[in-house]
């Protein structure tokens, strides 16, 4: 079973933890420091921020996913959209969970001259107007688990298609955890 962390994650966490312990020990041994607790608290906050940042940076280099063969079809009988495609681990490390996020955005088919092609009702959605219809739908699904380097996995994602949409634009991205 694969975990979220790779060898690089463990190395970063251990090095930052050792730096935290060393700096705390130096602070505690120094007799001239008056507010040792606040200094150690600052070290802890800094170490946590460094760990979080290093995990994100390491993820961007170790978890590389390629989307391919993307296609969509509208199923009129059930008013749904079916997205098909495949994800491939193009990195050198296994990925424990691969998710695909699909966002469809309503667009008008009638474009006014000089104006935007889609008039959004985002303000009404933000305020919480009950009559406002959402201008976009986002669906995120886990499509693969324990994806080894070079391995490819096909997926099918079904999502609702609102009847008031006058066409849509889709934004698809894949990410690993």
Question: pLDDT digits over 33-74, tens only?
Answer: 778 888 899 999 999 999 999 988 988 888 889 899 999 998
**Same domain for 113 and 133?**
yes
Q: How far apart are CA 95 and CA 66, in angstroms?
A: 12
Has residue 113 got a pLDDT over 50? no
Q: Please give the residue range of the domain that contains residue 52.
A: 7-62
**Same domain for 113 and 87?**
yes
Which tokens belong to 9?
Answer: 């994650």
Ramachandran category for residue 52: left, alpha or beta (phi over 0 → left; psi -120 to 50 → alpha): alpha
Has residue 123 got a pLDDT over 60? yes
What φ, ψ does residue 29 adopt, rounded to 5°? -80, -15
**Same domain for 87 and 14?**
no
Extended strands (E) in the chain: 65-75, 80-89, 95-106, 136-147, 152-160, 168-176
What φ, ψ does residue 117 adopt, rounded to 5°? -80, -15
- pLDDT value of position 132: 61
Q: How far apart are CA 66 and CA 20, in angstroms?
A: 37
**Same domain for 56 and 123?**
no
Which tokens belong to 47?
Answer: 């170490």
- pLDDT value of position 34: 79
Task: Of 84-93, 106-115, 141-150, give the lowest mean pLDDT range.
Answer: 106-115
Has residue 116 got a pLDDT over 50? no
**Cα 130-136-142 angle, rounded to 5 deg:** 120
**Bigger pLDDT: 1 or 13?**
13
Which residue among 62, 80, 95 closes a domain? Answer: 62
**Same domain for 49 and 109?**
no
Residue 90: partners with Cβ closer than 8 Å, 6 or more residues away = 64, 65, 66, 150
- Report pLDDT digits (tens) over 87-99: 999 888 888 889 9
Per the CB < 8 A criterion, the answer to whether 134 and 125 are in contact is yes
Look at the pTM and tell me if it is higher than 0.75.
no
**Same domain for 149 and 164?**
yes
């Amino acid at each position: 079973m694969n975990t979220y962390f790779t060898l690089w994650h463990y190395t970063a966490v251990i090095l930052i933890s050792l730096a935290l312990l060393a700096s705390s020990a130096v602070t505690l041994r120094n007799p001239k420091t008056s507010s040792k607790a606040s200094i150690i608290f600052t070290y802890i906050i800094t170490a946590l921020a460094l760990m979080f940042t290093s995990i994100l940076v390491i993820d961007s280099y170790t978890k590389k996913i390629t989307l391919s063969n993307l296609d969509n079809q509208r199923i009129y009988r059930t008013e749904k959209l079916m997205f098909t495609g495949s994800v491939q681990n193009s990195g050198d490390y296994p990925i424990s969970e691969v998710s695909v996020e699909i966002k469809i955005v309503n667009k008008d088919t009638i474009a006014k001259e000089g104006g935007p092609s889609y008039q959004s009702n985002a303000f009404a959605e933000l305020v919480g107007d009950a009559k406002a219809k959402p201008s976009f739908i986002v669906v995120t699904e886990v499509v693969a688990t324990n994806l080894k380097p070079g391995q490819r996995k096909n997926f099918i994602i079904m999502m609702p298609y609102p009847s008031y949409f006058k066409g849509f634009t889709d934004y698809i991205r894949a990410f690993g955890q």
